[in-house]
Homo-oligomer: A and B are copies of this chain.
């Protein structure tokens, strides 16, 4: 009845909550294992496997098998752009139903995004890193600047050790609330670890929100924003 490519087939793939969660978790361009994606989506491994199969068949994901791990990632920037635009519509249209309460304000300020910090503080932090040359934006990628390693070593984060991992050290991750990038990757994860370890902030129960203590916030700003 209609011409053109099968748009509903693609949209239907994104239309399932579990699959949508998986896709958004991959939006930073990274690769995650099937188990990680199952956890992210909040479903069991079998269910996740079924979903991943459908996403593969639909051409939205690409797969890199390494040993007994299978790393899934988005099939390309076009897919990421599509998800972006859907998020845009959902954000423009969604507020009608989820009224922004105090919890949401906290979420906007600081929260956990997979394993790193997100929200206004995270965006400000990345801005600061880039402004001071601690990190350098290289197109889509982010690299350590010359002053990077000593800067992080001063607060007890060994960037040299990251190089041994397969995981990229720095990665930009789009922040839905601020609409700009924050820092993901191994370094982003290490910074979050430090925030938790130093007890500068604590996780809200049953939520992804992060609440800084007054003293913790000052220490955090001194360490990463100065």
Contacts and interface: CB of A to CB of B under 8 A. Distances in A.
A2 B25 contact: yes
Given A5-B87, A10-B86, A60 B17 contact: no
A183 B1 CA distance: 19
A30 to B, nearest CB: 16
Report whether over half of chain A's contact residues are helix, strand or loop; otherwise say mixed. Answer: helix
A40 B85 contact: no
Interface residues of A, number: 56
Interface string A79-98: 10111111111111110111
A198 to B, nearest CB: 24
Contacts of A2: 20-21, 24-25, 40-42
Given A12-B16, A78-B89, A86-B10, A176 B96 contact: no
Interface of A: 1-17, 19-21, 24-25, 40-42, 58-60, 75-76, 78-79, 81-94, 96-98, 107, 111, 113, 118, 176-177, 208
